Structure 1
């Protein structure tokens, strides 16, 4: 079952970053996991966000060990790790070899340098428990859990627009967590937000107005998501133990990988179109032995 609300028509114009691979029809082969546990870590990892950097590198957030780490995927080894003043949740890359990291318990956004070893830069206070974060057109788009909302802010973390209620005063979100942005040629960017409290994906305009909502029983408790091209998203279904493909034009959600491929409690996903590789972090309940690794798959 699929339910669509707040529908708005968009012309079928190819995206600037369109992937040539139709992942909805793809099969994936398992490659060796990447171990990421640091030598100074005193707890099992909680890898709840990752980003693909230039030069076959990954940037990962580890909530349990209050750290961000930089991993080389060609050698499968950690290059550097930096400790933060709290547990990081989500991260996004910024121009100038930088990244922004949310610290929900501290109600802060931490900026880091990614040039060479990861190092700390400034940290900025915000007005709630910030979770998801994404950079777009010199703005940061941030989701908050308490109170639940999505905010557009400038790089000085000054709020420009916010979305928390619909026209009738009803809350738009229960627990919005991760978000991403797609940009279709000659059209404004579009924001997608996962809400694990309602198991929905919400599509917003860049002015944070609701355009459409996606829901399907095959997706339960969505966490991380990633744009892979024109109107194509990868989704992490944490409670449904799967990686799914969402066609945002048709609303069709299909499963790409599940427990058979070793997917349990997935939290974050990223796709490399040049190497046709997918990187996934999993945080299943009571399975700490698989939390210290990044899972790697290649399109067969």
Structure 2
């Protein structure tokens, strides 16, 4: 791994973004809010501003061998976001205030998703290794241990001292942070037989339910952590859903890859609205400190920053 100075020298970060953002803005269309027949989205807030494109951060570096593909993103602190670049087998730490890459960590295999753990740690899924890589973020990114799982692991989320990981063939594994007591909560196969290629997951704030994006069946599932289906929304404008994030009001923002859109869905999966158009949205995370949403795209060097203020 190159030292910080070399990484900064090769990072192409644009500060005069008005000149380059023009083409990006041409691809973004903000849609109206839910119609009068749609109830308010449930949660902590009675209202939530629609996301507006605030800026973008160019994270291309000279060392990238392939087009950048951010399949995972996670907020580490107020001004720091971590990105998983699947194509280039790297983890990239970006200072969102200065718009500078402060660390780039090469891995031995392709990372997919990231979950933030307590005590300055993260868990990164490595599909082709069928393992979860646990790392320290206290200083530089340092591997601590690996957790082996059955199947190619993709989406990962954390809550109440447990990891939840979606794997293929279709399964959702629950385990402690050491990887012990692995249980598949998605094992009633007859009920779930049409839901294959699970890509991402996210827990509700109270850790009572888990949301899954089913890529090939074009839907979002809401389950109890025991595996019982509570509700499903899909088809139509949810073609090939990918990354998801839970907002403070209890609603979800979901990347709809094939439709080139970010969609807002109520926590009970009864209502949805198309929020904004983005080419090939793949991953998404929410910065509660800044009230910003970061969207990583596939085959693009831009990290899009949307304001919810």
Q: TM-score, normalised by structure 2?
A: 0.81
Is 1:281–2:296 an aligned residue pair?
Answer: yes
Preserved contact between residue 81 and residue 95 of structure 2 (Cα < 8 Å): yes
Aligned length: 269
Q: Where is the helix percentage greater, Structure 1 or Structure 2?
A: 2
Once the 2 structures are TM-superposed, how far is the Cα of residue 39 of structure 1 from its aligned partner? 4.1
Preserved contact between residue 149 and residue 172 of structure 1 (Cα < 8 Å): no
Picking from 281, 284, 289, the partner of 1:269 is 284
Structure 2 unmatched ranges of 5 or more: 1-41
Match of 1:113 in 2: 136
Once the 2 structures are TM-superposed, how far is the Cα of residue 293 of structure 1 from its aligned partner? 1.5
Preserved contact between residue 78 and residue 287 of structure 2 (Cα < 8 Å): no
Picking from 226, 236, 244, the partner of 2:263 is 244
SS in structure 1 at match of 2:303:
strand
1:8-62, Cα deviation, whole Å (9 max, x unpaired): xxxxxx86xx3x4734xx3443233112223432222111110112131101101
Q: CA RMSD in A?
A: 2.1
1:239-288, Cα deviation, whole Å (9 max, x unpaired): 01110110123611101101xxxx111001122234232211111xxxx4
1:183-220, Cα deviation, whole Å (9 max, x unpaired): 34xxx521000001101111111222222211241211
Change (3 A) 1:194 1:39: same
Change (3 A) 1:38 1:113: farther
| Cα distance in 1 between the residues matched to 2:202 and 2:122 | 15
Match of 2:301 in 1: 292
Preserved contact between residue 151 and residue 208 of structure 1 (Cα < 8 Å): no
| Cα distance in 2 between the residues matched to 1:299 and 1:42 | 34
Equivalence map 1:142-153=2 (5 Å): 142-145=165-168, 147-153=169-175
Structure 1 unmatched ranges of 5 or more: 1-13
Q: TM-score, normalised by structure 1?
A: 0.83
| Cα distance in 1 between the residues matched to 2:209 and 2:186 | 17
Is 1:156–2:178 an aligned residue pair?
Answer: yes
Match of 2:47 in 1: 22
Is 1:173–2:195 an aligned residue pair?
Answer: yes
Match of 2:104 in 1: 81
Match of 1:198 in 2: 217
